[in-house]
Amino acid sequence: MTTALKRMIHVGCREIGLDGDARHDLQLLVTGKDSLTDMSEAELKAVVSALEARGFRAHKGKRSRPLAPRSDLRYIHVLWGLLGKAGKLQKPGRAGLNAFVRSRFEGHWQSVPIDIDSLQRTDQINDVTRALKDWCRREGIATERTVRK
């Protein structure tokens, strides 16, 4: 983790335009140490926070996959996530969702895609959405936001 924090500090300094001397001054100001190698993980996080306060936007990791191409497919991922957060899934995540679609619809559809995001037919997308919403309803998980006036 400390290596990743050190890299983040270097990226942050470059992003907001701090040179090496300015970085050392900031580190000294925040932690009392001017060398990253002498800092603990907590001190490195403090330096990252100081960079964020000065305008650095830390990217907390890259997405391994892009978002689903269609909003109705993204909604399927949202429903699956709600079930996962509620602890109702044996295998949360994309692999579990794909396994659910295969096991649930393999006998009903002519072919089942390898990945949920490759679904094209609206009727198939609606089938998956309906199944997940029904599951959420059975588990007492709210899928719609209620608007209060």
Q: Which amino acid is at 87?
A: G
Could you read off the pLDDT of 19-65 as tens digits, one per residue?
Answer: 889 899 999 999 999 899 999 999 999 999 988 888 888 766 555 66
104-120 confidence digits (pLDDT tens): 998 888 888 888 888 88
Burial (CB < 10 A; 0-12, 13-18, 19+), residue 20, is exposed
CB 51 within 8 A of CB 41: no
Helix (H, G, I), strand (E, B) or coil at 146: coil
- Indicate the residue type of 62: K
Q: What is the mean pLDDT of residues 1-10?
A: 86
Q: What is the largest CA-CA distance in the chain?
A: 66
The whole model's pTM is what? 0.55
Q: What is the pLDDT of residues 72-104, one digit of tens each?
A: 989 999 999 999 989 999 888 889 999 999 999
Total residue length of the chain = 149
